[in-house]
Structure 1
């Protein structure tokens, strides 16, 4: 998708007057302000019949440009972009041009962080959609930094995904921006930022190969009544502890994490997790632990998924995945042909090796709405229907493996 307008930034010095509907009425003009640096050039080639007035009818051309609108010498109007205005009485007004993207965005696919009835357009034409709602509605998040109150929402578009044997594609525009209204004293700043262009918190969050670690929890219960699963992931085995020795059916606590990312909207996802008798993830035999992120149903001792939420104490819970499986050993098959008349006796199975290695196919997922990026075993049926048009983007995949685990026999 090509974004015609990558970043719209309107700095409004002084509050806008109370919000009014766009049909035949506009908010009062903001006072003139210095145009922010780094603002991308607007596309002002809007047909006369599609022009929607921006600001009051008497606004000057310079003031019109200062609020990132276009002026043709007679009228101030919205360009082919996404424009945000934050009003004195606490309203967000968002004007979206269909030609904000190439191919053009489908207005029906647009939604905000929370889909409430009042988050739908208050007016629309064939070229523009107009939204207006209280700054605390539609899932807006409120933050405060150095005396500045920030109201942040997220506007996204869904897209249809077509999946083949070896990949997935879409032919729809994919669009996601952050909308921020910043209130400080008697000044307001309205900011529209394309997600993906947002500066990362530090270099560790910069784009790059997916760095994933697989480690095994070593915590144990030492007091009566404690829950081992709650303590198992509080400490982890070091490389010097391997090979680990486990009794058959002992729980093995597995955590997969991406330690070098600091974007809270990224979610680590697990596809298939499996075990092998050799270090190579492609070796055979293999035994599935998770399939599509869910416990393999044909295992009589099914793997247990461990939710990782805010109560875990982790800074970025979505960057961690945890599960538990029961220790096992691979078996070889030996056919005994010593029976009379060349008859073949039943198969005799014996341990193939005492070694087990764990592997997981992982990827990063961009979370756009609550509960996205979760495996289907966590979702209700009505959520699965949305998968065809789900606002989820998965990228960067890699396979991560454990060191050697061995089973031991009790004497």
Structure 2
């Protein structure tokens, strides 16, 4: 921008001089510029261009995108969040990162809530992002006029993979719903959109005696060196997070006793016989109908346990119950249960379980604890949190739901 300066010379004549306007001393980031953590979290190979070249840092950040001057191919790219624009030519432009939910949303499942016609599919997709671009008048967009504003609204949702068994249904996918609104002034200028993203929640731990004096508890990590205590309940975990479970025999010192797990399952209440169930272990082996199969953790003398045969450990992956008819997620409490017996190891009886073969050797009758399978249930419920209010409500209600150890 040139500035004209008018003055008077020594003879009193008017003189016009042109000067280039000086720049501001600093380039401040645009108000819409994403945080550095949002930008640095995107791997170079996953970067999705936000604008065509050439583009300045300021213009890039005004669009809510990340800028890296060192990247000559894709200097302006989307951050690992939701980036949405209402373009001046009347289109929605929406880029969704897989990391916008926890656990990450499955990008193949993201779709427009109402529009499924030609042109209502992603225009770009890679390992980390999916991008939609479509006219305001298409793909199920709703329209209304409020005052001097023309408002266009649409939604993106993600479908969930629901696994259905004979006694219940579960899912490990996040709930994703993105509401996008574009407001245009009828007089000509337009106003930025508003975006809302709704995600889902998470699971805890265990211990209750049975005739065999069994205990079921959850370790804080895969090393099984520390376990959650009463004050930690409910332990909050995200869908698909590992849960390190352990069942052990209490108050026994016979090294030839072997704990044998028969079945482990989850229910939405403390009643182990509730009709709605999800199997975790079946005949001592991971349930084959689960897409995140339970992992058995082998134990030996190197584990550091005095009687390793008195323990059984397994890793399951958190899920939430789903109504088999409506496919809606069921919020509330989830309890874990296991049935087990004790086998007396001898020359004739190895007391081992081979998976995936379901057949098991006969239990020896040499020990009085082996007659019938016993059951152990979680001490406290697993709670999938929908929001902060429900978290507080759930904690307040633990006293009346949890059974004594």
The TM tier, using the shorter chain, reads 0.3 to 0.5
* TM-score in terms of structure 2 length: 0.40
Larger radius of gyration: 2
